[in-house]
Amino acid sequence: MSQSSAAPISGSAVEIPSIPFREIAPWALFFGLLGLIILFFISADQGAISVPSGNAIHEWVHDGRHLLGYPCH
């Protein structure tokens, strides 16, 4: 078996592809909102305005709250 490797031509510049802002913006907005929702559930949710009623979400993220430095007692 012969192995061939393509060596770059000396003097040629590597072209870095650019991604237009219009293609990145919807994904940035989506992940930004998702991050804010996750941050809300970890930091502020105490069960009073939860979508599932009760204290379940608070108990699920309780240790994570203390690990991140959020007081909850």
Instruction: Report pLDDT for 51.
Output: 63
Q: Is residue 63 very low, low, confident or very high in pLDDT (cuts 50, 70, 90)?
A: confident
Domain ranges of the chain: 21-67
pTM of the predicted model as reported, rounded to 2 decimal places:
0.53
The pLDDT of residue 1 is above 60: no
54: CB partners within 8 A, 6+ apart:
47
